[in-house]
A and B are shown apart, each in its own frame.
Chain A
Amino acid sequence: MDYLGEFEQIVMLAILRLGETAYGMTIRKEIQEVAKRVASLGAVYTTLERLEDKGFLTSAVGGVTEERGGRAKKYFRVTGLGQASLRQALNATQAMKAGVVLEGA
């Protein structure tokens, strides 16, 4: 199974939090608001492509709206394999963190 990088984990968690409304713009906003991390749409899309290639995400093309200039949205969902990989990565981080005291603010 492929290992997940830190930003990949954040993107997958954002998709899971958003549920049915997860597409490029909302994923970027969620990361910005919850993780307090500024990410460009380009960075988000390259990560989404990589995760889709690994089989961790699936996508579906949605409706067209006027404010998007007639362009369709692309909705993302985390697959079972993706959830298993994410669980493994988060468990590994938690296990490594146990007993470690971090100094500084």
Chain B
Amino acid sequence: MKWNSDCARQCGLKLKAMGRTIFGLLLKEQGIMSIEDAKIEAAEIANAKAQAEERQKVMAVVIVLLVVLAILSKDASPPRPARFALLLIPKRNREHLIGDLDEEYRTVVLPEYGRFWAGFWYWGQTFWAIGPYLSKGLKRVLGWAAVIRLIGR
């Protein structure tokens, strides 16, 4: 092999990379984080913080919505719009689930906490009841979309 300027440059680059690796290993051994690791960790922390803030915002919106809906419920029976929303649940267990919700609403929550909080509770339960079914349906739709996309290629 002939020695030329290209070779020298390649060797230089390799030595630099080796130096970096050894330096990084030494820092790790001493319990000190390398600059790259610190950057990655800082980015991860910032990302987690942003996600937590986003979640808090969504929760605040849901709570405000629940309060408004609870105020709007006029009589002691379960809120009708919530009942309508519960129609999104598959037929297989819909009647039983609504029956369970109504039973707990009438026998436990309404006598104990009153109309406002009972309405709030019913709406909350409705959202949490629909959630798992909606996510299940969404996953199915996304799965089919992926399959159709693969076939289309």
| Residues of A that sit less than 8 Å from B by CB | 23-25, 28, 40-43, 45-46, 48-49, 61, 65, 67-69, 71-74
Contacts and interface: CB of A to CB of B under 8 A. Distances in A.
B106 A67 contact: yes
Nearest to A38: B128
Given A49-B92, A67-B107, A42 B97 contact: yes
Question: Which label, helix, strand, loop or mixed, suits the secondary structure of the B interface?
Answer: helix
Interface residues of B, number: 24
B80 to A, nearest CB: 12
B104 interface: yes
16 contacts: A24-B97, A41-B100, A41-B128, A42-B89, A43-B131, A45-B132, A46-B133, A49-B92, A68-B103, A69-B99, A71-B96, A71-B98, A72-B96, A72-B99, A73-B96, A73-B100
A73 B104 CA distance: 13
Interface in B64-113: 78, 89, 92-93, 95-104, 106-107
B136 interface: yes
